[in-house]
Amino acid sequence: MPASPSTARAINDRLALRLLQQDGPLTASQLKTSTGLSRPTVADLVERLQRAGLVRVVGESDSRRRGPNARLYGIAADRAHLAALDVRTDSVAVVIADLLGATLAEATLPIDGDTPDRPAVQQAVAAVERTARSAGPAPLHSVAIGAPGLIDPASGELRDTAGLPSWHRGLVKELQRRLPATVVVENETNLAAVAEHRTGAALDRDTFALLWLGHGIGAAVMLDGALRRGASGGAGEIGFLPVPGTTRVPSAADCEGGFHSLAGSAAVLGLAAAHGIEARGPAGTGQAREPGAASAVRAALADRGPRGEAFLSDLAGRIALGAASVVAVLDPGCVVLAGEVGRAGGDVLAARVEERLALMSPLPTEVRAGALGGGAVLRGAVLAAREAAQDALFAPGDGA
């Protein structure tokens, strides 16, 4: 059945808006070329989008060329704001962005482990509201939260997971109650994979696996450009993967004995100590100390001696064990090492893991270091919030 005229207009409008968001600003002629629509249809949709306040003239394509054909149209990025949250066990980081994803304000709130749930939630919500106010008067349209743990694929809620602070669940519910905004929750590793795919190390890959190497261990699976979350939202819970080299097997409630016991931050620090590598934070910078496992990797890279070489070789072997299991099942062709340890190890660690992986698997697999470092989760959350805003503001039938 052919689309009704109103539905066809809405679909064309959304296509134009996506092009303006991804490639803009654009002239009407460029929109015509990119969409394949006729010149009158493009002229009509540009006028509609301007009336709706979604698009405005932002300049001209050539100062020597005047008139309607030279006008550059761009998204009205200040129509609404987006919020991105990276919720850790001991902190909440907040970024407020416009509809194009540009950062307008940001803040980080430490939350002491002894803080009761209710005060912790109130402090975090107040930080979000305060940061949003500092970004300007535009309404907050969408909020995306990156959190450790399992996200129920049916309800979109953060599941009660052992080992995570209970205030995490309370924060999501309080934000939904207090803010006049759409609130979405996603696993932090999945968000990191989205960010690396859109703007980072996997920009040229629609199929890859991302290993998050930090305090906790996780993986994200991107197949044909789409995240795969699994039937219960637990795809990538690689910390529970049984591996050789540990003294026990993991249980349903505890990942100790799994891959986490080989490659989590505590295990990396133990390995560093065994090789005589001392973990240090950055000296003389006035900045907070970086995570210990990351500083141990940096110290090994700086060592350039047999101790550092031995540590990096053993660490690469451990990481390759987990990566080999992912490769054997999915054959992703590419594995991205993210998180604090992946960032600290960079191309040197990635190359070593690739060498070890080639000895374990017949499937050719490139191993890359993540390009976005510790900001990958927040960047992915901004992108998720932007998608939520697009779905609401630019959906067919929304009257634009």
- pLDDT digit string (tens) for 218-255? 999 999 999 999 888 888 999 999 999 888 898 888 88
Read off the pLDDT of each residue in 54-71 and give the average, rounded to a whole number: 74
DSSP label at residue 140: E
Q: What gap in Å lies between CA 211 and CA 228, rounded to an integer?
A: 14
Q: Which pair of structure tokens corresponds to residue 358?
A: 């080639």
Per residue in 318-345, pLDDT tens?
999 999 999 999 999 999 999 999 999 9
Q: How far apart are CA 340 and CA 377, in angstroms?
A: 12
Answer with the residue of higher pLDDT: 136 or 167. 136
Can you say how many angstroms the Cα of residue 235 is from the centroid of all Cα atoms in its chain?
16
The DSSP bridge partners found for residue 335 are 209, 367
Indicate the residue type of 168. H
- With a cut of 90, say whether residue 351 has pLDDT above it: yes
List the structure tokens of 78.
């200040």
Average pLDDT over residues 87-105: 92
Encode burial over 138-165: b for 16+ CB neighbours within 10 A, e otherwise: bebbbbbbbbbbbbeeeeebbeeeeebb
| pLDDT, mean of residues 116-137 | 93
Q: Please tell me the distance from the alpha carbon of residue 233 to that of residue 262, in angstroms, as a whole number.
A: 24
Q: Which helix (H) or strand (E) holds 265?
A: helix 265-274
pLDDT of residue 112 exceeding 90, the answer is: no
Distance CA 295, CA 280 (A): 5
Burial of 23 per CB tally in 10 Å (0-12, 13-18, 19+): exposed
Residue 149 pLDDT > 60: yes
Contact (Cβ atoms closer than 8 angstroms) between residue 349 and residue 311: no
Cα separation, 126 vs 122, in Å, equals 6
pLDDT digits (tens, 9 = 90+) for 250-297: 888 888 889 999 999 999 999 999 999 987 654 333 334 456 899 999
Q: Indicate the residue type of 319.
A: I
Alpha-carbon distances of 53 from 2, 57, 257, rounded to whole Å: 29, 11, 56
Where on the phi/psi map is residue 284: left (φ > 0), alpha (ψ -120 to 50), or beta? left
95: nearest Cα among 392, 374, 375, 373: 375
The 81-87 sheet, strands edge to edge = 103-110, 91-98, 81-87, 140-147, 182-187
Instruction: Determine the pLDDT at residue 326.
Output: 95
**pTM of structure:** 0.86
pLDDT interval class at 123 (50, 70, 90): very high
Between CA 242 and CA 325 the distance in angstroms is: 10
Q: What is the pLDDT of residue 277?
A: 92
Mean pLDDT of all residues in 366-371: 96
pLDDT at 285: 36
Does residue 398 have a pLDDT over 50?
A: no
User: Is the pLDDT at 145 greater than 90, yes or no?
Assistant: yes
Give the residue-averaged pLDDT of 180-209. 94
